[in-house]
A = this chain, B = another copy of it.
């Protein structure tokens, strides 16, 4: 379910390098690791250095070869076989390991049809709905084991109607359609993949009255428009199809067991009662199949931004001379997911857990998604096994997870986290995720208490192409792409901002439902084209067009493993609240600016309606209606947010000052017994951002700083209750949200202050 990774990563700020490291040609070694006494710090650094020497590209490649050798979707024989192989590997490295099973609803296609009908109802074209084997690519011919092209959790249905092209199928696209006077009521829509998460597209289509939804991959987005078609280049070929779940985003995981683990005897909803199955049938197709459909559409020519890269003039429709017949029926079966859970028990604090995960299931062979990530994770585990032999023992328990069922909807991670929710809230100190890997730039997203932490880790790993720290390369790339104002910020801020996380991989439940400090990391940005969720995302393709030498697989293992070790061994948990506070200040500024922008927009639109701008600029041959006049958005009381943000800033500053004093002392205080009470309090800090009632209309999502957007899917919304209600002009919801979220910020400040009060006094100089 990992989104087309570098579309997202390439646009967002990532991480930081302290200014003193800017010109370093080799990894800088901080004098004292945060949260470590002096002696512990030097021991830790010596273990970490040993660790980073161990991962081998050849072994990561071999992991990929094994794990991607056959299609291995949820419920397939090779999925189970991979889980058992991973289990054996972990055990052979000296880890305690087991498989935990859950039982989930996972529909697979029973009947699929996309036909073009002429005016008499006679079929003139039938879509192939097939990805053909490619001779040079050996695994592409494993036809019998491949999951057919489909969107999981599509409603069953058999519909016929005129066709309308809706661009990416976002809410904004339907607003444009409305102004063109075009309704999708009773029609089948065809939307291109991209911009928003795929599940949003049938959702919004159904909200507008469409009876069916076809998704296709336009070559502008990941085909010949970007890169030569596979196998000449890495781009999606004409028949390539993107599979993927389209379940609604109300909650992640098994559709029948919201909020609880899908254990054998869990209480389950009836399938018909699950709110996350789409309202209309959906099927994904290739651009080879889409071309005749798009050509059949007449009516007005699309707006400029709606054009794709096919050699046709794109029209909006609805088609008048032809209709489309769409049929989609699934086998609504229960399947077993196999999560592999491996442990190294902590030597000193076995009840504090550092968790690392990457999924192992794929839509088909999944060399890039997810095997490039789990192959690195497994190599980290091997390296830690070597350290165990050399005498290393983590202070905290380290838990490595290989999730099953991520692709259809984060099934394995969500059900495991829900099953162990109480333990996790009591014991876990971090969840570190990856979901595949590529060549290029390091990127991290996560909760901002870990910003400084992951930054300092990534400043110690060397980019294999450039021989500079990976964080430095990322920073320089951001400077290259920044506006002057952003550049000034990048050059003056000690840490580079990490992205806020929305949805799209296994961190979601840990962050938004459990409340753990979380990170999601990976490399990429130098590979072009994509075989995302296609049979062609396989070993041959990956080893020809992605991280072909696996040196970035090694870099991922080095960053992730170092982060796990450093978090596991720290005396004081190295959370940094100044970064959280400054990020929150930015968000509070943004939502105020957003309201002003909305006010200005409405005022301007109203004025232009009055001036006659819309009627003067509407071409009578292709009229565009004026938007509706709206009352001016009210001013909102932002004081609770501002006060909360202020309190958080103060508390963070006081805490960090106290810690700095402690660290600059003899350091003895950091290994004093009192520090455990501090850690225990610190483990509440992420959850202090939770509201028990969750977000407005989305009770599953508790975190008040981050959430996937209700209408973006993968895309994050920060301060979501406030931001989305302003965006959607729900003013009474917004008024309540500023109070609620302000309260949450106060609660966070109090939690940090409580931790500060527990800090031991600095040892005498």
A residues lining the B interface (CB < 8 Å) = 22-23, 219, 224-229, 233, 235, 301, 307, 309-313, 440, 465-466, 468, 472-473, 476-477, 479-480, 484, 487, 526, 528, 600, 604, 608, 611-617, 619-621
> Could you say which residues of chain B place their CB within 8 Å of the CB of A600?
484
A468 and B616 in contact (CB under 8 A), knowing A224-B313, A228-B301, A528-B301? yes
| Chain B residues positioned under 8 Å from A22 (CB to CB) | 611
Q: Is the CB of A612 within 8 A of B476?
A: yes
Docked complex Cα distance between A473 and B619 (Å): 12
Most chain B Cβ neighbours within 10 Å, of A301, A307, A608: A301
Chain B, residue nearest A612 (CB) = B476
How near does chain B come to A272, taking the closest CB pair, in angstroms?
44
Q: What are the nearest 5 A-B pairs in CB distance?
A: A476-B616, A311-B311, A228-B313, A476-B613, A224-B313
CB pair A616–B473 under 8 Å, yes or no, is yes
Q: Which B residues are CB-close (under 8 A) to A310? A: 311
Contact yes or no, A611 B476, CB < 8 A: yes
Let me know if B440 and A219 touch, CB within 8 A.
Answer: no
Assuming the contacts A465-B620, A608-B479, asked whether A313 and B227 have C-beta atoms less than 8 A apart, the reply is yes
Beyond A226-B301, A468-B616, 16 extra complex contacts between A and B, CB < 8 Å: A22-B611, A225-B307, A233-B301, A309-B309, A440-B619, A466-B615, A466-B616, A473-B616, A473-B617, A477-B613, A479-B611, A479-B613, A480-B613, A480-B614, A480-B617, A526-B619
Of all chain B residues, which has the CB nearest A464?
A: B620
Does B468 lie within 8 Å of A612, measured CB to CB? yes
**Residue with the highest number of chain B CB atoms closer than 10 Å, among A226, A479, A615:** A479
Q: Which residues of B contact A613 (CB under 8 A)?
A: 476-477, 479-480
What residue of chain B has the Cβ atom nearest to residue A291's Cβ? B311
Query: In whole angstroms, how far apart are the Cα atoms of A473 and B613 in the complex?
Result: 8
CA distance A95 to B518 in the complex (A): 85
Report the minimum CB–CB distance from A745 to chain B (whole Å): 32
Least CB distance from A752 to B in Å reads 35
Contact between chains at A477 and B228 (CB < 8 Å): no
Picked from B219, B226, B476, B616, the residue with its CB within 8 Å of the CB of A617 is B476
In the complex the two chains form, what is the Cα distance from A229 to B224 in whole Å?
22
Closest residue of chain B to A622, judged by CB?
B526
Chain B residues in 8 Å Cβ range of A608 = 479-480
- 27 A–B contact pairs at CB < 8 A? A224-B311, A224-B312, A224-B313, A225-B307, A227-B301, A228-B313, A233-B313, A235-B313, A301-B528, A309-B309, A309-B311, A311-B311, A440-B619, A466-B615, A466-B616, A473-B616, A476-B612, A476-B617, A477-B613, A477-B616, A479-B611, A479-B613, A480-B613, A480-B617, A484-B604, A526-B619, A526-B621
In the bound complex, CA of A310 to CA of B311 (Å): 6
Give every chain B residue within 8 A of A225 (Cβ-Cβ). Answer: 307, 313
**Which of A22, A235, A480 has most B Cβ within 10 Å?**
A480
Q: In chain B, what residue has the closest Cβ to A621? A: B526
A287: shortest Cβ distance to chain B, in Å? 10
Docked CA distance A227–B303 (Å): 11
**Complex alpha-carbon distance, A487 and B465, angstroms:** 48
Q: How far is the CB of A316 from chain B (nearest CB, A)?
A: 13
By beta carbon, the residue of chain B nearest A475 is B616
Q: How far is the CB of A114 from chain B (nearest CB, A)?
A: 21
Min Cβ gap A443→B in Å is 14
C-alpha gap A333/B301 in the complex (Å): 45
Complex CA distance for A526 and B617, rounded to whole angstroms: 9
Residue numbers in B under 8 Å from A228 (CB-CB): 301, 313
- Which residues of chain B have C-beta atoms less than 8 A from A621's C-beta? 526
A476 vs B615: C-alpha distance when bound (angstroms): 9
A615 — which chain B residues lie within 8 A by C-beta? 466
- Report the bound CA distance from A487 to B22 in whole Å: 43
Measured CB to CB, the closest approach of chain B to A542, in angstroms, equals 15
User: Do residues A616 and B229 form an inter-chain contact, with CB atoms below 8 A?
Assistant: no
Q: Chain B: which residue is nearest A301 at the CB level?
A: B227
Q: A616-B468, A617-B480, A619-B526 are in contact. Are A229 and B611 (CB under 8 A)?
A: no
Q: A445 → chain B, closest Cβ, in Å?
A: 20
Contacts of A466 in B (CB 8 A): 615-616
Whether A311 touches B219, Cβ cut-off 8 Å, given contacts A611-B479, A612-B476, is yes
Give the chain B neighbours of A487 by CB distance below 8 A.
Answer: 604
Closest beta carbon of chain B to A485's beta carbon, Å = 13
Most B Cβ at <10 Å: residue of A226, A614, A619: A619
Which residue of chain B has the shortest Cβ distance to A463 in the bound complex?
A: B616
Residue of B nearest to A307 (CB): B225
A307 / chain B contacts, CB cutoff of 8 Å: 225, 309
Nearest to A287 among chain B residues (CB) is B311
What is the minimal beta-carbon distance from A22 to any residue of chain B, in angstroms?
A: 7
Q: Would you call A616 and B472 a contact (CB within 8 A)?
A: yes
A611 closest partner in B (C-beta): B476
Write the chain B residue with the least CB distance to A310: B311
Centre residue among A468, A613, A616 by max chain B CB count within 10 A: A616
| Nearest CB in chain B: distance from A252 CB, A | 34
Chain B residues in 8 Å Cβ range of A472? 616
The distance from the CB of A249 to the nearest CB of chain B, in whole angstroms, is 30
**A312 nearest CB across to chain B (Å):** 6
Which chain B residues lie closer than 8 Å to A614 at the CB level?
480
**Least CB distance, A471 to chain B, in whole angstroms:** 11
Contacts of A484 in B (CB 8 A): 600, 604
Q: How far is the CA of A466 from the CA of B235 in the complex (A)?
A: 48
Q: Give the CA-CA distance A226 to B301 in the complex, in Å.
A: 8
Q: How long is the Cα–Cα vector from A550 to B307 in the complex, in angstroms?
A: 31
Query: Which chain B residues border A229 with CB–CB below 8 Å?
Result: 313
Across the interface, which residues of B come within 8 angstroms of A227, CB to CB? 301, 313
A481's nearest neighbour on chain B, judged by CB, is B617
- Report Cα–Cα, A468/B600, bound state, in Å: 27
Chain B contacts for A309, CB-based, 8 A: 307, 309, 311
Minimal beta-carbon separation of A221 from chain B (angstroms): 12
| Distance, CA A614 to CA B480, complexed state (A) | 8
Residues from chain B with Cβ under 8 Å of A233 in the complex: 301, 313
Q: Which partner residue on chain B sits nearest A477 by CB separation?
A: B617
Chain B residue at smallest Cβ distance from A228: B313
A758 to chain B, nearest CB (A): 42
A612 vs B22: C-alpha distance when bound (angstroms)? 9
A468–B479 CA distance with the chains assembled, in angstroms: 49
Chain B residues, Cβ within 8 Å of A612 = 23, 468, 476
Chain B min CB distance to A577 (Å): 30
Chain B residue nearest in CB terms to A465: B620
Residues in chain B near residue A226, CB distance under 8 A: 301, 313
Residues on B with C-beta less than 8 A from A473 are 616-617
The answer for the CA separation of A311 and B290 in the assembled complex, in Å, is 14
